Structure formats: C-alpha cells, structure tokens
Chains A and B, each alone.
Chain A
C-alpha cells in the first residue's frame, strides 16, 4: 500500500497483455493436453503462454517487456492523478478495454 492508500499491483505476467492462461485457450494451443491432463488442474496453477517471448511461464513471473492489461502502478510512487491518466491513455483496442465495452471476441 502506498502512502496515498492505493494498492500497487506488481508487474507480473498474469497482469500482462502478452500473457494468455485461459484454460480453454491453453487446451486449444497445447495439443494432446486433454488426453491425459487438463488445463483446469491444480498442478498448472495459473501458468500460461507469453506471446512476447514464446514461453510457457509461471503467472507470477515478470520481465522488462511487461505491457499493462489493467492499470498497473509503475516504479514511481503512485498518485491518484497518474492512475486516472493511465486509465485514460489505454489503447481503445486493448483487450481489457474491449471486454469492458462488452465487445470481446470471446
């Protein structure tokens, strides 16, 4: 919690726009997974595919190529104003933005 009282979500893969860990998606792109396994199993945790690095990763990892899927506080102390600015500057085609409009392709 910052001094301003705003929670600071870390820049982890699970919050990154390049990260895909939806079970139905994983069962489509990992052929054979459903034959003797499942993307809904506890052993998978929240692991998923990073489409930036082409790797299958722990959802709590992070890297310098992080791209925000949702408002994420940067390294500098957060202010309410800058959080609002971050929301306003989201790409209109961003998946999160699309979901909020109810226009997701899913």
Chain B
C-alpha cells in the first residue's frame, strides 16, 4: 500500500462546522447557550423574588478545619446540585461536539472535586500570605498531575480549557456594565491594536532575519500578537502553512503564556500597580485568554491589600476589555489580510489557497457575542435601579451568584490548563522560532507596560461601575 493510500484509509473524516451547523458544532456557541442560559435563569428567578444563589455555592472564608468542615456539612446538598447542573449542561454540549459522556463524566467529576479543594484552599484566611491564589494552585497542581502521574488520556475529555474559559467570559459579561464597554472599549482597541501590530511586525521581521519562511513567521507573529494558540491555528490555516508550523507556534505560545502567568501579576504587585492598570497590562501582554484570566485573577486577589488600591473587578474588567474587545475580535481581519499577502506575495506557487472574505465572520470568536448580550441584559434590567438598591438587592440576588458561577468556570479552566499541558508532548520548536518569539515578547511587555501604566494609566484606574 502506498503512503497516500495509507493516509487515506487511516485518517479521520472531514467535518463541516461552518454555517448554521456552527450553532451546535462549535464550542463558542455552546458557551453562549450555557452562559446566557444561566444569566436568563438567574434573571427569571430574580424577577420572581427568588435567586440562583442556592446553586451558586462557594467555599466560605475559613481559618480552622472545623469551620471548613462545618461549611461543607451544611452545604453538601448545594454542592451536589451544582455538580449535577454543571455535569448535565457540559455533557449535553460536549456530546454534541463529539465527546463520549462515559469519558467526560468521570473526568469532570475529578475536575470538580479538585476544584472544590483548590477553591477552599484559596478561601483560607492565610492564603494571601502564602500566595495561595486559586489560579496559581490550580495551575501548579494540574501541571504536577499531568507531567508526573500517569493520568489516562481519555480523561482529557473533561479538561476543556477553552470551553470553560469561554463560558466564564459569557458569564463575566453579566457582571460588566455595557456602558463601561462602550466607554473603555475604544481606548482598549487603540492600545491593543498598537501593541498587536508592533508585536506582530517584530516577530515577523525577526523570524525572517533568522531565515524562517513567511508562513512560519506569520503564524508565530499572530500567536504572539493576537490570541495565542487560537490565532496561531487560524493564521496557519489562512496562509496554508506547513503542518509543522502550527505545533511550533503552539509550543512557544504555551511556554511563554505559562511564564507570564507568574511574571505579570508578581511584577505588577512589586510595582504596586493599580488593578485596572495591571489588568490592562496583562490584557496587552498575555498570549492566551485562559492564561490571561489566570494572571488577572491572581492580581485581583491582591487588590485592596498590601498597598494595592482599587478592586479585583477592575483588574478583570480591564483585562477583558483589552484582551477580548481589543485583541480577540480582530482575528478574522488578521486572517483575511494575511491570506491575501500569502497568496499574492509569498507563495504564488502554493496551489490555489483560497482568499475568503467570509472568514472575517466565520473566524470571529462567537463567544464575544454572548459576552456582549449578557452585559446588555444585566445592564438593561438594572438600569432603573438606584445605587442603594443595586448594592442591597440586585448585586446579591442577581449579579453575585453569576459571578460565583463564573469563578467556578474559571477554576475548571485553570486546572485544565495544567492537566492538559504535558511538556514532553509538545513539538520541538527549535531555537530560531523561540528566539524570534521571545524578542517579540520583550517588546510587547515593555510597550504594553508603557501604554498601560503611563500613557493610559488614568483611564485604566478609573474603570468603575
């Protein structure tokens, strides 16, 4: 049998998931259905003088094991109900995406159990003193388990980093006033575009100087400039890159994204940056949404203590505006422009690579639509409420429970990052791609800091409801 015949027989079938199919075959849409479903359910209960609060249970602050044990004893039914809620909804979504429920459910049970432990540890009254922020613990525990223990591969069915972070982002929309998106969005787009274009050009130019070809340079550049792994695979497809290039870009993105989860919040803390400024910096200089939320969430935990003025929300809001609104939504434009350049300038010999203007839409990260709609819904229903009533009624009855469920989704995500990052499995990137990307990282971090902490500092410090 020839090699091509073997490939024809051994490979997986093709699948069409663009168009109306996308509504049930892409995780972005499932994140929307799930996130908006929670928001609407919360609103309906709230409007009927009830609340989703009972389901949105979280570990309480504790200082002794006795207090912790008492909390779980009193709320065990709520945790079971919450687990069932997550398990059922995620199973429906992931089954539609092609996963097997019998593999997902035990995997998710393990994930939920570990998440409860990590969440509880983060609520210890000494956690801040020992830097035991839940995102950090989740990442370290996950990395340890996946790289040291022989975890079966089928368990990966439940470690869906992107699905959890997208669900969390849709829920986050419900806690971010739409007026704030309108007010701060243009500056976020200006700042993010400045840094993105500069970073892309630096990585691209350096890659070319080091002798890498155009497609690899573009894939690396997009990975560093736009939205990490997602951008790398989008641009690899748009320019028709060799099959080795996306894994190379993925490797360097993962390595730097994990480094930045530690470097950005700790440096911000050392510099006593305002949470809004730190969030903007992280949003400008982290490479993946999940990694960025981990870093922003870590810094949010420092807000209000240790000389850090401001609130944790400001770090999360600034990060989200910068990363999601400022960078992620433009990936379709990047793909379209680079596809034109690739086809007309770089690789005219490449057979018929399609320049498809429609990709601006079908590459659009649809979960952003859910994020905006969630923000519009909650902004609308709270628009006529006085500040006193908002703080006394709307916040505890409607917004805080959604925020708590969002925190769960983020912890699932942070833990999954570690559980799916097996360093031994990553492609060997080589020194030149790593060097080119690293130079881009250096420029990105410095430029991002100057814009966040100097040029637009007052803007990011004044993010408020």
B26's partner among A20, A34, A40, A48 (CB-CB below 8 A) is: A40
Cβ B354 vs Cβ A62 within 8 A = yes
A60 B290 Cβ-Cβ under 8 A: no
State whether B365 touches A36 (Cβ < 8 A): no
CB-CB under 8 A from B17, the residues of chain A are: 23, 45-46
User: Which residues 383-439 of B sit at the A interface, judged by CB distance below 8 A?
Assistant: 417, 420-421, 425-427
**Are B246 and A56 touching (Cβ within 8 A)?**
yes
A19 to B156, CA, bound (A): 25
7 A-B pairs with the lowest CB-CB distances in the bound complex, closest first: A47-B237, A37-B229, A63-B351, A25-B12, A22-B12, A36-B288, A38-B162
A38 touches B4 (CB 8 A): no
SS of B interface (majority): helix
Further contacts, 8 of them, CB under 8 A, given A18-B7, A37-B250, A94-B8: A23-B98, A38-B230, A41-B365, A42-B366, A43-B331, A50-B243, A57-B237, A62-B354
Tell whether, in the assembled complex, residue A58 and residue B238 are in contact, meaning their CB atoms are under 8 Å apart.
Answer: yes
Taking a contact as CB atoms closer than 8 A, the residue among A20, A22, A37, A49 that contacts B230 in the complex is: A37
- A30, B353: Cβ atoms closer than 8 Å: no
Minimum distance in angstroms from A73 CB to a CB of chain B: 17
Q: Which of A15, A29, A31, A54 has the most CB of B within 10 A?
A: A31
Closest chain A residue to B417, Cβ basis: A35
Residues of B close to A12: CB separation below 8 A: 354
Q: Do B98 and A35 touch across chains, with their CB atoms under 8 A apart? A: no
Q: A95 interface residue, CB < 8 Å from B? A: yes
Tell me if B162 and A40 are in contact (CB < 8 A): yes
Q: In the complex, are the beta carbons of B362 and A45 less than 8 A apart? A: yes
Contacts of A52 on B, CB cut-off 8 Å? 4
Chain B residue with the shortest CB-CB distance to A34: B420
A20 close to B231 (CB less than 8 A): no
CB distance from A98 to the nearest CB of B (A): 8
Tell me which residues across on chain A come within 8 A of B350, comparing CB atoms. Answer: 55
User: Which residues of B sit under 8 angstroms from A51, Cβ to Cβ?
Assistant: 4, 7-8, 11
Which residue of A is nearest B156, CB measured? A34
Q: Which of A91-106 contact B (CB under 8 A)?
A: 93-96, 98-99, 104-106
Q: Are B27 and A41 interface neighbours, CB within 8 A? A: yes
Most interface-central of B13, B228, B238, B253 (chain A CB within 10 A): B13
1/0 per residue, CB under 8 A from A, across B241-281: the answer is: 11101110011011001000000000000000000000000
Checking A17, A35, A57, A63 against B8 with a beta-carbon cut-off of 8 angstroms, the contacting residue is A17
Decide if B48 is an interface residue (CB 8 Å cutoff). no
Kindly name the residue among B12, B229, B363 whose own CB sees the greatest number of chain A CB atoms within 10 A.
B12
Nearest CB of chain B from residue A70's CB, rounded to whole Å: 9
- B172-228 residues with Cβ-Cβ distance < 8 A to A are 227-228
Option from A14, A18, A37, A63 in Cβ contact (under 8 Å) with B162: A37
Q: Specify which of B28, B161, B350, B351 lies most central, judged by the most chain A CB atoms within 10 Å of its CB.
A: B351
Q: Which residue from A20, A32, A36, A50 sits with its C-beta under 8 Å from B247?
A: A32
A43-B288 contact in complex given A36-B257, A61-B352, C-beta closer than 8 Å:
no
CB distance from A94 to the nearest CB of B (A): 7
**Cα–Cα distance between A15 and B14 once the two chains are bound (Å):** 8
Alpha-carbon distance A96/B8, docked complex (angstroms) = 10
| Contact call A44/B27, Cβ cutoff below 8 A | no
Decide: A58 near B240, CB < 8 A? Known: A30-B247, A45-B359, A51-B7: yes
Q: In whole angstroms, what is the CA distance A39 to B10 when docked?
A: 19
- Cα(A44)–Cα(B243), bound, Å: 14
Q: Does A24 touch B at the CB level, under 8 Å?
A: yes
Min CB gap A61→B, angstroms? 4
Residue A83 at the chain B interface, CB threshold 8 Å: no
Q: How far is the CA of A19 from the CA of B352 in the complex (A)?
A: 15
Contact in complex: A106, B426 (CB < 8 Å): no
Contact assessment for A105 and B359 in the assembled complex, using a CB-CB cutoff below 8 Å:
no
What residues of chain B lie closer than 8 Å to A59, measured between beta carbons? 14, 16, 18
Closest residue of chain B to A70, judged by CB?
B14
Q: With A19-B14, A33-B233 in contact, do A65 and B162 touch (Cβ < 8 Å)?
A: no
B11 and A95 contact, CB distance less than 8 A: yes
* A-B residue pairs in contact (CB < 8 Å), sample of 15: A22-B13, A31-B426, A32-B250, A32-B251, A32-B254, A42-B362, A43-B230, A43-B231, A45-B18, A56-B233, A57-B240, A58-B356, A59-B18, A61-B351, A63-B352
The docked-state distance in angstroms from the alpha carbon of A33 to that of B247 is: 8
Tell me the nearest residue of chain B to A39, going by C-beta: B233
Whole-angstrom CA separation of A30 from B420 in the bound complex: 13
Q: Pick from A56, A65, A104: contact of B240, CB below 8 A.
A: A56
Minimum CB–CB distance for B167 against chain A, Å: 12
- When distances are taken between beta carbons in the complex, the residues of chain A under 8 Å from B229 are 32-33, 35-37
Report the minimal beta-carbon distance from A56 to chain B, rounded to whole angstroms. Answer: 5
